[in-house]
Amino acid sequence: MTEATCRRELELEIPAETVEKAVARVAKEFARVARVPGFRPGKAPITLIRRRFADDIKSEVLQSLVPEQVERAVTESKLVPVTQPQIDKVDFAEAGPVKFRAVFEVLPEFELGQYKDLEVEIEDTKIEDADVDKGLEELRDRAATFVPVEGRAIADGDYAQLKLKGIPMGGGDPLEADSVLCHVGGEETMEPFNQNLRGANIGDHKTFDVTYPSDYPDAKLQGKTFTYAVEVLGLKEKKRPELSDEFAKDVSDAQTLDELRKKMRDNLEAARAHRQSEQQREKLLAQIVKTHEFPVPEALVEHQMDSRLERTVRSLASQGVDPRAVNVDWVALRSRQKDRSIEDVKAELLLDRIATAEKIEVADEDVDKQIAAMAEHSGESATVVRANLTRQGALDRMKSKLRSEKTLDWLCSNSRTRTIPREN
């Protein structure tokens, strides 16, 4: 092993006497059931059995003795493997010891440095009246209605109702819509639509090209140019409700606008507290990881890279995007996760060691509470959720995650925070 890895190579040897006893035992088992021409079952000479079934007997002996020898060596060396030992360089000579090599990865050995009484900087995210006003404006936007407009041309801020067909240059499937709203002049609208629809009237027909950037959110359109044939079917204005007590009743359980403002501020304060807590946890953990240098098992890093990639795929799927249809170099994307994955693994190993040092454990009531929350979210009973977790082998993982969360909470309560002005 080199100093920078968690790889272990053990050159092991099983004594000849132990090997011979195992060979004799396995040979007798073969003799009882083996069918040898010219002999009744169980009557063939043991020497013939050992010669005729030599390879099978060796295989059985290795399967019997090697795991025991590896486990014994691992225990004596006080190692904690994180991968199954890979066996190679097997030397199984006649009437001699069995020699072989076991290769595996282990948990790293390291000393805990300082992890208590650390200081982290947290951005001051004080909630201002402007934040409340912005939240109310967003509520007005969500409650807005679209009102038809006649007798004038399209202007910035209007919503044009369009029938369109887009033909991709170079071939491919067209884009068609019988009725779609286009926010003319909106930041989210491609500029060719703004230029060609501004000043148009209901009934007008327009033809123009649109080239989508290579980083366009819709992967099907990235870097492509479409020729659009557009018919203006209608014109609508977005009408937002006035801020009033009636508006407050319509969009919430508040009875007055002042009560809605207070609820909005309370929600923003709660979100602020959550963000600051998350920021404290992230910065504190990053600081601890940075001050501890030790190698991490490649197998755990690979697993974490897979987990990160799976989260990306699930996120796309939740947005209605088929990951198979996205033009993404998944191999390169996975490779770019390596540095973050190494930090993730180091963080988990450190949290585990700190939890052990501070005797932080997960109580049964912690598990019950988490299962109850999962049951409420899924609509299943707590009994069913627990059974599913147990069957999937996920219960121990959940307990491990809860232990890490409790350890992070403990670290935060034993650290100091200093607020700094929020960057605008």
Instruction: Note the pLDDT of residue 160.
Output: 94
Query: For the whole prediction, is pTM greater than 0.75?
Result: no
The answer to whether residues 357 and 265 belong to one domain is yes
| 89-137 confidence digits (pLDDT tens) | 999 877 789 999 999 999 998 999 999 999 998 887 788 899 999 999 9
The answer to whether residue 186 sits within a structural domain is yes
Local confidence band at 1 (pLDDT 50, 70, 90 cut-offs): very low
Is the domain of 399 the same as that of 269?
yes
Whether residue 233 is found in the same domain as residue 301 = no
pLDDT of 423 = 66
The mean pLDDT value of the chain amounts to 89
Same domain, 259 and 381: yes
Interval 136-184: pLDDT, tens: 999 998 999 999 998 899 999 999 999 999 999 988 889 999 999 999 9
| Residue 421 pLDDT > 80 | no
CATH value at residue 155: 3.10.50.40
Least confident of 41-45, 328-332, 354-358: 41-45
Q: What is the pLDDT of residues 267-297, one digit of tens each?
A: 999 998 898 889 999 999 999 999 999 999 9
Side chain identity at residue 385, one-letter code: V
Domain that holds residue 227: 145-239
Specify whether 224 is located in the same domain as 340. Answer: no
CATH number of the domain encompassing residue 308: 1.10.3120.10
At residue 78, does pLDDT exceed 60?
Answer: yes
Give domain status of residue 220, yes or no: yes
| Same domain as 286, residue 172 | no
* Angle at CA of residue 323, ends 318 and 328, nearest 5°: 130
The tally of domains found in the chain comes to 3
Pick from 47-61, 187-201, 232-246, 320-334: least confident: 320-334
Q: What angle (nearest 5°) sits at the alpha carbon of residue 262, between those of residues 256 and 266?
A: 145
Is residue 342 included in any domain, yes or no?
yes
Q: Is residue 55 packed enough to be buried (19+ CB in 10 Å), middle (13-18) or exposed (0-12)?
A: exposed
Residues 213 and 327 in one domain: no
Residue 256 has pLDDT above 80, yes or no: yes
Contacts of 184 (CB under 8 A, 6+ apart): 154, 155, 156, 157, 158, 159, 160, 193, 194, 197, 198
Residues 67 and 175 in one domain: no
Identify the CATH number of the domain in which residue 47 sits: 3.30.70.1050
Q: Which one of 239, 271, 298 terminates a domain?
A: 239
Examine residue 417 and state whether it is found in any structural domain, yes or no.
yes
Tell me: do 284 and 411 sit in the same domain.
yes
Whether the predicted pLDDT of 2 surpasses 50: no
**pLDDT of 326 above 70:** no
Q: Are strands 7-14 and 98-105 parallel, antiparallel or unpaired?
A: antiparallel
Q: Are 98 and 29 members of one domain?
A: yes
Q: Compute the radius of gyration of the chain from its Cα atoms.
A: 34
